[in-house]
Amino acid sequence: MSQHPTFTSDFSDTLATNVQIPEVETSRLSSGLVWRIFTVRPLVRLGIISLACLSALCGLLGPYFQKLFVDAILKDSGANLPTERLILYISLAFIALLASQTLAVACKLVCSREGVLTNRWLSRSLYQHGLKLSQASRRSRPTGEFVNIFSQDVSAITMMIDELLPVAVMSFIPFIAAPVAVGFYFSLPPLPLAAVSTLSLTLLFVMAYRQSGFFIAFKRLATERLAVVNEWLQNIRILRILGWTELFEEKIFDKRRSETVNRLAMVTNGSGMSAFAQVAPSLISITGIASVVFTHTDVTPGEIFALLWVLSIFLSRPIRSLPFNLVMFLDGLSSARRLQTLFAMPLERGAEHPSLHIEPLYALDVKGLELTLDGVTLIKRLDLRLKKGEFVAIIGEVGAGKSLLLDSLLCEAPATFESYTIEGIDVLPLDLAALRAYFAYAPQEGFIMSSTLRDNVVFEYGASADKDEAVSRSLGLAAFALDSQAMSGGLDTEIGERGVNLSGGQRQRVSLARAHYNDRPIVLLDDCLSAVDVDTERLLLDGLIEGAWTHKTRLLVTHRLSVLPRVDRVLVMHHGAIQMEGTFDELMANSEEFRDLTRSMQDKKKSAPAQEGGNQV
């Protein structure tokens, strides 16, 4: 059985490195995400703190040697200057400050690398978790929210490592070291400096807290607007026909107005916060100098120089960056909470127990399948058995549950089973990827990527031309002609987004070609002949469905009566149950209800619009 093709990015290529974040079950990320991010590689985190501490220590040694240098120069201007000592002081000051900056840059580089690793780890975990979400979980959240989580929240959490961590550590240490240094240089009364510093920091914290609230609201409003826009774009054709475009446009404008009001408040608060962050170091410096002047009578220029350096330079950057660090931290916390909520959402079945091998009497054997959504039972304790190589058709009125049955077999719908085996293997304990690897699937509305025809069949962006022979064979069996004017580029022909430059029949044939290329033992066909004409249908049946797939197990949902005489069995569904089954001839001969159903289907076909021409490609 071939592996399922993917077109996802290879996260392992994000960094050319063997360093990995330890794997963890995504369910364990539903709490304590921030703690795990900051402690996941403890030795590296300890190294970051050590680099920051050494940078701060060197940053304090610099002004100390500068103080000694200035005092030595001015101590006795008439005496011979001790040249060697002066050179030593200024050299040590230069080396200390250079070492401080070098260590700070090294700390930032390590954090940047850790940030990339964290981003890769979070993105991979989020992607894998999203694939396993139950249908109820996916329906409970708009698409725009998932887009926002990937585009904004993962980045916000990553910034806590590559931006916040180095700045926070290198800012926290000066807040501790500066008072110690001032006490070492001078014997100052602590109250004035502590009062001004505490007042300034408190005000900055309040403004930063307000700013984070505005920023969180900004992301929430953007998510809500994206959800409305996404709904609007997906249904634009129906909205235009019904004349509802203005209603949706007004909803979008309302969201935009709310965003604008919040944005204005955020900019106003941010401007005030930034302005005060620039002024606060000057207030602290003035307080410190005033304390020295009023409490000391013998202040040297070197001491004043050192004090100004500690309060105005060494301490100014941490103070100025403090509000933005707080905003970044609080924003990261809100993003972490959103991710934790997503990681806590219920999943579909996981691989918790080993599968049991049962003697394969049937290619597919389902007992007691039941599907209930929103309190309504849509499929009622259904049993289904398919022999290997059997070709079975499912018919029924609209809403009978035909497509839901296929979704349930793929575990795309939250159905329950008494038992479910494929080729003798109990598949209920399998994870979704392993279960779905048994199936090829061609839906009525085929998914088309905005890429080349080759990529759409292989289902992989940038598919290699080495696969062209197999791709061309699959397209040929699917009656998709490559020699038409519309396909002048052959397999390199670009297909527009969602297949806008393809007809409905062409999209269905691309899906059939993809299903053939993937080569799975069971083929599920969900009304995939509905948009092709009679001639194309015959080509598909002769060449593919009853030709290349003769030995495959095939389950076809259809409304095409012309197919029924060619299948091994016909299943008739009604209100979520199999009402009758048998060969087409048996049912026509023995069931008046079946004959009425076929007449009804024939009448609907006559009243339906003509399908695409068989030669149109």
pLDDT tens digits along 56-90: 788 778 877 877 787 777 765 555 666 788 888 88
Q: Which two tokens stand for residue 584?
A: 């087409």
pLDDT digits (tens, 9 = 90+) for 108-135: 888 888 888 888 888 888 877 777 777 6
Q: Kindly tell me if the per-residue pLDDT of 480 is higher than 80.
A: yes
Q: What is the pLDDT of residue 17?
A: 40
- The 10 Å Cβ neighbour count of residue 90 is 17
Q: What is the mean pLDDT of residues 125-147?
A: 71
**Domains in the chain, please, with CATH?**
21-343 (1.20.1560.10), 364-607 (3.40.50.300)
The DSSP code sequence of 189-254 is -HHHHHHHHHHHHHHHHHHHHHHHHHHHHHHHHHHHHHHHHHHHHHTHHHHHHHT-HHHHHHHHHH
Residue 475 has pLDDT above 80, yes or no: yes
pLDDT range class, residue 558, cuts 50, 70, 90? very high
Contact 67, 306 (CB under 8 A): yes
Q: How far is CA 501 from CA 268, 492, 615, in A?
A: 48, 14, 16
> pLDDT tens-digit profile of 537-554?
999 999 999 999 999 999
**What pLDDT was estimated at residue 317?**
72
Binned at pLDDT 50, 70 and 90, residue 570 comes out as: very high
pLDDT of amino acid 554: 96
Model confidence at 348, pLDDT cuts 50, 70, 90, reads low
pLDDT higher than threshold 90 for residue 154: no
CA pair distance 593, 580, nearest whole angstrom: 10
Of 78-82, 217-221, 452-456, 559-563, where does mean pLDDT reach its minimum? 78-82
Q: Given this model, what pLDDT does residue 299 score?
A: 67
Tokens of 552: 């495959």
Mean pLDDT of 481-499: 73
Kindly state the DSSP code that residue 48 receives in the 8-state scheme: H
pLDDT band at 486 (very low <50, low <70, confident <90, very high): low
Helix (H) or strand (E) holding 442: strand 439-442
| pLDDT bracket for residue 162 (50, 70, 90) | confident
Quick one: pLDDT at residue 553? 95
The reported pLDDT for the residue numbered 605 is 65
Alpha-carbon distance 126 to 134, whole Å? 14
Confidence tier at 327 by pLDDT (50, 70, 90): confident
Q: What's residue 143's pLDDT?
A: 62
Tokens 């369910």 map to which residue?
Answer: 27
CA 522-573-421 angle, 5° bins? 35
Each residue's pLDDT tens digit, 229-277: 777 777 777 767 667 777 777 888 888 888 889 889 988 988 888 888 8
Q: What is the pLDDT of residue 403?
A: 92
Q: Are 366 and 419 in contact (CB under 8 A)?
A: yes
CB 414 within 8 A of CB 134: yes
Overall average pLDDT of the 479-499 stretch: 75
pLDDT value of residue 354: 44
Pairing between β-strand 577-582 and β-strand 569-574 as defined by DSSP bridges = antiparallel
Can you give the pLDDT at residue 616? 37
pLDDT (tens digit, 9 = 90+) per residue, 401-433?
999 999 999 988 889 999 999 988 889 888 888
Q: What gap in Å lies between CA 257 and CA 255, rounded to an integer?
A: 5
Query: Which amino acid is present at 552?
Result: K
**Rg of the chain on CA atoms, in Å:** 35
Strand partners, 422: 364, 425
Question: Higher model confidence: residue 326 or residue 271?
Answer: 271
Tokens of 262: 């919040």
CA-based torsion, 372, 373, 374, 380: positive or negative:
negative
Structure confidence at residue 336 (pLDDT):
82
Going by C-alpha positions, the residue among 62, 33, 57, 166 that lies closest to residue 111 is: 166
Give the CA count within 13 Å in the CB-facing half-sphere of 608. Answer: 15
Question: Mean pLDDT over all residues of the chain?
Answer: 79
List of residues 6+ apart from 407 with CB closer than 8 A:
413, 415
- Asked if residue 11 has pLDDT above 60, the reply is no
- In the chain, the amino acid numbered 88 is L
pLDDT value of residue 371: 92
Confidence of residue 473 (pLDDT cuts 50, 70, 90): very high
609: pLDDT strictly greater than 60: no
Distance CA 433, CA 439 (A): 10
Q: Report which residue type is found at 359.
A: E
Higher pLDDT, 81 or 195: 195
Distance set, CA 607 to CA 396, 497, 528, 600 (Å): 18, 31, 20, 11
Q: Is 499's pLDDT higher than 70?
A: no
What's residue 255's pLDDT? 84
Partner residues linked to 369 by β-bridges: 382
Instruction: Look at residue 568 in the predicted model and tell me its pLDDT.
Output: 95
